A and B are shown apart, each in its own frame.
Chain A
Amino acid sequence: EDKVVQSPLSLVVHEGDTVTLNCSYEVTNFRSLLWYKQEKKAPTFLFMLTSSGIEKKSGRLSSILDKKELFSILNITATQTGDSAVYLCAVLNDMRFGAGTRLTVKP
């Protein structure tokens, strides 16, 4: 059965820490993997990954995809309290989301 698994499910860190969030998948007809940040209701787009080994970067956030081992990671460096949110991983073509990682950054 197709699945997308995120780990850890929750994480509590202090400002300035670096975190790594994981997303592994087993899906048919993989097309791309997307990362979203959900603070309240509407998930907001972070990254779209289609090729292995190419890092996407935006400020303190970066992400990479490994299509051989079927996983992706999302890194956040120098975390801030504003990074507190649920981070969701989704895989297309299946339109399948993981359960998310709830990140809490304490001052």
Chain B
Amino acid sequence: DAGVTQSPTHLIKTRGQQVTLRCSPKSGHDTVSWYQQALGQGPQFIFQYYEEEERQRGNFPDRFSGHQFPNYSSELNVNALLLGDSALYLCASSLFGGTNEKLFFGSGTQLSVL
């Protein structure tokens, strides 16, 4: 039973570039949430996707966008990268509306913006 998988594991970009991060949820899960975790801080909620639609969004600018595919996998896109976007990006999957909504996390993508 595959857990949550993310790719790539590491990424280096320069300011102004665009980046796409990918996530495959745990088998049987239909909901994907994305988090940004800066060094020494807790994960900050970016958005959540269910049924290919953004269901909830945190306090992130429109430069951050996402997509969910029919197979429940998801992408996070960040445009016009800033130095401050350097962080660990975590993907978490869950089952929407279930009584046991614990999140299962992937190992993350470490993004460095130079």
Chain A residues within 8 Å of B, Cβ to Cβ = 4, 6, 31-32, 34, 36, 40-45, 48, 88, 90, 92, 94-100
Q: Is the CB of A92 within 8 A of B101?
A: yes
Nearest B residue to A101, CB-CB: B42
State the majority secondary structure of interface residues on B: loop
Chain B residues within 8 Å of A, Cβ to Cβ = 4, 33, 35, 40-45, 48, 56, 58, 88, 90, 100-108, 110
Q: Is the CB of B48 within 8 A of A34?
A: no
Q: Is the CB of B102 within 8 A of A45?
A: yes
Complex: A4 Cα to B58 Cα, angstroms: 14
Nearest A residue to B35, CB-CB: A97
Contact of A42 among B40, B102, B108 (CB under 8 A): B108
Q: Is the CB of A45 within 8 A of B104?
A: yes
- Nearest Cβ in chain A — how far from B87, in angstroms? 12
Q: Is the CB of A45 within 8 A of B103?
A: yes
Interface centre among A32, A90, A95 (most CB of B within 10 A): A95
Nearest A residue to B47, CB-CB: A95
For the A-B complex, the count of residue pairs with Cβ-Cβ distances under 8 Å equals 52
Nearest A residue to B100, CB-CB: A48
State the majority secondary structure of interface residues on A: strand
Cβ contacts under 8 Å, A95 to chain B: 33, 45, 48, 56, 58
Contact of A48 among B33, B90, B102, B107 (CB under 8 A): B102
Cβ contacts under 8 Å, A92 to chain B: 101
Q: Is the CB of A42 within 8 A of B90?
A: yes
Contact of B107 among A4, A41, A98 (CB under 8 A): A41
Contact of A31 among B41, B101, B103, B104 (CB under 8 A): B101
Q: Is the CB of A41 within 8 A of B88?
A: yes
Cβ contacts under 8 Å, A97 to chain B: 35, 42-45
